[in-house]
Amino acid sequence: MLDEHTLEVVKQSAPSILVKVLGMLIALLVSIALGRLLGAQGLGIINLTSKISSILVILALLGTPQLLIKELAIAVNDKNWQEIKSLIKSGLILNSISALLLITLFVILAPWISRYIFYNKAITVPLVIAVCAVLFQVISRVYASGIIAYKKIWQSNLVNEGLSIVVVGLLLGVWYVLGFTIDVIRVAIFYFVGRVIVTTYVVMYWSTLFKSKTKFHNKSRELIKKSFPFLMVSATAIIAANIDSVMVGWLSSVEEVAYYTVASRIALLTIFFLQVTNAALSPKLATLYKAGKVKEMNEMVQRVTSGLLVVAILPLIVFIFFGESILGLWGAEFSSGYWLLIVLSLGQLVNIGTGSAGLILVMTGFEKIQANISFIAIGINLLVNFILIGNFGALGAAIATAIALSFENISKVIYAKKKTGVMTLPFNF
């Protein structure tokens, strides 16, 4: 039987899990279609430019989404309409300016990056298109922060996770049925159109939530001052999630990027359970720790981790026996990524099996320890990637990622137990 705290976490997670599941399944189908239509080189270019644009989005946001969620939640609770409008509009102004600056820089540098960093001129045009979409992604993320503040969690997940890839899938399907040529540049345009449509949707949805016509006070300077710590946290996370693929493109080839990103996408199918439960766990952990209910925290976290561990082990078994066949869905050439899939899945098993150790450190006031561990893990990842990719290609990146993930999560478990008394593993030692 689940205790009341664990049951509440499950109930709060359900709608977001559904949105994430649908988004991930559609993304998987789109990826399979692109693998078959474009081959490893084409899919590698699309995935590489997508990784680069993801990093640029986080840099352009300057850490403001997390700050906006915090400030807007208070303003919504207090029904301070002027504050809500001022925060949203200031965020839009500040982040749009930073996005435009980054876009201008990378559009100018795109030919040089393609030729001298990735040694592939075919990357230039898709990279320019992907970079230009950054502005629309930034605008969507700012509004998504406001949507979260109104406690519309699954709607925010729809904006951040699923809607854009649905549009890409629809455009791809229509283009294929009509018999038109599908190449890398057209697919890059489909992704751009998807970003624009998502931005249009989120602006319209926000207008249904917020209808006040109060005056606007520019809070851009205030946001800049307060957002830097959030930028460091978000930048750390996004770099950790994307730098391996970028380094494979730099030190190996776009084909290897395709093999790596496909294997990574499959291995990461289970991680969204941890992400969603963490979102629901956050307020419960803070409340219970403040009340001194460490025993209840321990029981809740261990129950959640036990469930997550089962979720992680079952896919690993499937991948061991049927991994080559699964990868073959993208095309025969992708089956060579079998060992990438196994190594990355083992890394995710450690990640999920150690539970919410990092979240516990953050929610109990030890966020500096969590940040320091993450920084060290990124350093390890970068160093080992640099050493191994040159000799082993994408497999080297998979090994580096698994090593960094294991170090990071085991360290967080140890420190969470040491500082809070909470053991995230489903057993005590």
pLDDT digits (tens, 9 = 90+) for 277-294: 776 676 677 778 777 888
Select from 186, 185, 194 the least CA-distant residue to 164: 194
pLDDT confidence of 333, banded at 50, 70, 90?
very high
pLDDT for position 265: 92
Question: Is the pLDDT assigned to residue 146 strictly greater than 80?
Answer: yes
Q: What is the mean pLDDT of the chain?
A: 88
Q: Which residue has the higher pLDDT, 107 or 74?
A: 107
pLDDT for position 101: 98
Give CA–CA dist 100/96, Å, rounded.
6
Backbone torsion region of residue 421, taken as left when φ is above 0, otherwise alpha when ψ lies between -120 and 50, otherwise beta = left
> For 4-8, 21-25, 69-73, 182-186, which range has the lowest pLDDT when averaged over its residues?
4-8
Q: What is the pLDDT of residues 364-387, one digit of tens each?
A: 878 788 888 988 999 999 999 999
| Three-state secondary structure string covering 386-423 | HHHHHHHCHHHHHHHHHHHHHHHHHHHHHHHHHHHCCC
Please, how many CA atoms are within 13 Å of residue 382, restricted to the half-sphere of its CB? Answer: 10
Question: Is the pLDDT assigned to residue 391 strictly greater than 60?
Answer: yes
Separation of CA 290 from chain center: 29
pLDDT confidence of 239, banded at 50, 70, 90?
confident
